A and B are shown apart, each in its own frame.
Chain A
Amino acid sequence: MNLVRRAAFLLHITHTHGIVRRYFVVNGFDGALTMLGIVMGFVIGGPASLHVVISACLGAAIALGVSGVSSAYVSESAERQRALVELEEAMVKDLRDSYHGEALRWVPMLIALVNGAAPLCISLLIITPLWLASAGVSLPLPPLYAAIAVALLSVFLLGAFLGRVAGISWLHSGLRTLLIALATAALIYLFA
């Protein structure tokens, strides 16, 4: 069994593929809205150098990634440990050397990786226009507005993905999450 199939198998027997998907969307959404908030803050707060904006966004992105990895690993390890103990009691058997024991070791790491990578990758995607602008690449929009546009697009795509998962209209679902992001932007505009 190759690595990907083995990972899929372990997620399947522990019923955690749904949790992975949920974490990806939830934390990806967190990452996108956090970046939207920071960039909006700089737009409203007045001029700042791109270097400062990038540093602030990158700092938040790394913090979100580390927070995602560590929190998911700690909580999922505890959940998997509890599930294994319950199963061992039912089976009256030590299952550490079985696929269930292997799942206890690997599944929390896989979930933690997704939980940390989702906000980090989406944040990096949103920061990309800022990097491009600081590297001298000309953009159709001012860099901060381009980053906001990428953030809104990311949120829309996460919603569309959720729509596909739920088997409902991806457009409707994408527009719904986009509306949440626009409401967030309006709140920031009002109170920042």
Chain B
Amino acid sequence: MVAVKRMVLDVLKPHQPNALDFSRTIAAVGDDYRVRLTVIEVDENTETLQMVVESRAIDFEAVLSSINAMGGSLHSIDEVEVQNQPDGG
């Protein structure tokens, strides 16, 4: 199984939910999700973020769905780390 271990995402989001709530919600997608969020730019109504998500196996669709639910917009996937690992490994 090819598992996504790490992703660096470029995200645009409204000021609310704030960075803490935003990263908490993304981290709640899976049990072992680790999120590091950096606010790159702040505009009048929006913030541009660099978000690093790490896990044993990232469910990208679920992460994208959470970003959309919070009103965010995925601009680009800037880095990806994937690993082909035996099933159950």
Q: Which residue of A lies closest to B14 (CB)?
A: A87
| B residues contacting the other copy or chain, number (CB 8 A) | 14
A51-92 interface code vs B (CB 8 A; 1 in, 0 out): 000000000000000000000000000000000001100111
Inter-chain contact A97/B45, CB cutoff 8 Å? no
- Any B CB within 8 A of the CB of A99: yes
- Any A CB within 8 A of the CB of B69: yes
Contacts A13-B17, A91-B12, A99-B17 given; indicate if A86 touches B71 (C-beta within 8 A): no
Inter-chain contact B12/A99, CB cutoff 8 Å? no
- Any A CB within 8 A of the CB of B76: no
Q: How large is the interface on A (under 10, 10 to 19, 20 to 34, 35 or more residues)?
A: 10 to 19
Contacts A98-B68, A98-B71, A99-B70 given; indicate if A90 touches B16 (C-beta within 8 A): no
In this complex, the member of B14, B44, B45 whose beta carbon has the largest number of chain A beta carbons within 10 angstroms is B14
Contacts A13-B16, A13-B17, A14-B16 given; indicate if A90 touches B44 (C-beta within 8 A): yes
- Any A CB within 8 A of the CB of B73: yes
Residues in A neighbouring B70, C-beta threshold 8 A? 98-99
- Scan residues 90-144 of chain A and give those whose CB is less than 8 A from a CB of chain B: 90-93, 95, 97-100
Q: B28 CB to closest chain A CB, in angstroms?
A: 10
Inter-chain contact A99/B44, CB cutoff 8 Å? no
Residues in A neighbouring B83, C-beta threshold 8 A? none
- Any A CB within 8 A of the CB of B46: yes
Partner of B16, one of A15, A91, A92, A97: A15
Complex Cα distance A60/B21, Å?
43
Partner of A87, one of B17, B21, B71: B71
Partner of B71, one of A9, A15, A99: A99
Q: A87 CB to closest chain B CB, in angstroms?
A: 5
- Any B CB within 8 A of the CB of A22: no
- Any A CB within 8 A of the CB of B43: yes
Residues in B neighbouring A14, C-beta threshold 8 A? 16
Q: Which residue of A lies closest to B28 (CB)?
A: A1
Complex Cα distance A14/B69, Å?
15
Sorted nearest first, the 7 A-B pairs with minimum C-beta distance are: A90-B45, A13-B16, A98-B71, A100-B71, A95-B71, A90-B46, A93-B73
B7-19 interface code vs A (CB 8 A; 1 in, 0 out): 0000010101100
Residues in A neighbouring B69, C-beta threshold 8 A? 97-99
Residues in B neighbouring A172, C-beta threshold 8 A? none
- Any B CB within 8 A of the CB of A12: yes
Q: Which residue of A lies closest to B46 (CB)?
A: A90
- Scan residues 58-89 of chain B and give those whose CB is less than 8 A from a CB of chain A: 68-71, 73
